[in-house]
Amino acid sequence: MMGEDEVVRTFVQASTGADLAVIEGVMGMFDGVEGTIEGSTAHVAQILSVPVQLVVDVRGMSRSANAIIQGFRSFEPGVRIRGALFNRVGSPHHRSMIERSLPVPAYGWIPVDPTRSVESRHLGLFMAQEDRKMREWGPFIEEYCNVDALARDAVTPDLPATPTHARKPEPSLRVGVARDAAFCFYYQENLLRLKRQGGELVFFSSLSDRLPEVDLLYLGGGYPELHAEALSYAPALRDIRRACEDGMPVYAECGGLAVLCRSIAVRDRECRMAGILPAEAVMRSRFQALGYVEGSGTGISPLFPPDLFFRGHEFHYSCLSCDNDARFALRLTRGKGISEGRDGLTEHQTVGSYSHAYFTDAFADTLLFAGRAWKRT
């Protein structure tokens, strides 16, 4: 989604001044795009020349865990597996059976403890701030893992320094960003890029605050369906509706898209939403789309001109029922979007998409330019 150069730049920038940088893997280690290594955890490890420390679930196996590790070590050249942490170890005897044939150093033996398990729901795990059990994991890991060895073996890669980004000379633009329990999915790099390109980020809660005085609004993803009733009565929703009708540029992704529709239906209960976009959102029992997206603007909206190319990701359980005359600001060459590659439902200067876009400089500049144009009027 970012490209190799951006992976290096982002990693170096984010870890500058840190003693330890942790890169969290996704899915299986070698699971990339369309059955290739591209975009996988292993690919990222190769790009950054960093060692890998496997977390191996050993429930229901003993010596076979080491065969899995050995297979991972030999499967893809250039991926250095430094050691392993064994999760869900049943007993001291279970541990001893695995220890007899270790192919790599063991950094930890984490016992089964149902009281500390973190449950999942649609879109993923419960978030850390929602589950008090997460606060207990630090001492627990220190007790059962060799944290010093983990830190010692995290060898610093030889990566190039990245230039310092100077903010552009244009006047600062106030960018409203909804951030609370309903809107919590944002790529941090997108927010940083908006700041670097001259935006002043103004965070607010869609559940408890009024919409602050801003010139551009960014509504990310999250769990609005869990807070649909509260959102339907929230003062911020009325403010957002008026801002959209007044022509303020508004860009919304996934959950933000659903909130800008006329309603959200969850388990046969329908809650009124902003009513700006000509559609109803309906939550389904299984995911409706999952994977990377690529696309460009259709030119219908000034937020997405035809020459604006972007990449991103989509993952959602809702679907939209759109009016027959609905207009779309995005055309996907990869991914599903709202319907058959059409994404970016648009009215006024509001665009709502299922795609979580990764902002390039051009992407951020286009959003900010629209905000400045509206501010001048």
Out of 244, 254, 261, 271, which one is annotated catalytic?
Answer: 254
Residue type, 294: E
Q: Which residues, in sequence order, are CB contacts of 17 under 8 Å at separation 6+?
A: none
Q: How many CB atoms lie within 10 A of CB 335?
A: 21
Q: Is 145 a catalytic residue?
A: no
Report the distance separating Cα 156 and Cα 172, nearest Å.
37
Q: Is 194 exposed, middle or buried (0-12, 13-18, 19+ CB in 10 A)?
A: buried
* Separation CA 141–CA 133 (nearest Å): 13
* CA–CA gap between residue 51 and residue 156 (Å, rounded): 9
Max Cα distance, the chain (Å): 73
Sign of CA dihedral 372, 373, 376, 377: negative
* Rounded (10°) CA dihedral 282, 125, 179, 286: -10
Contact 340, 319 (CB under 8 A): no
Q: List, by residue number, the catalytic residues.
A: 254
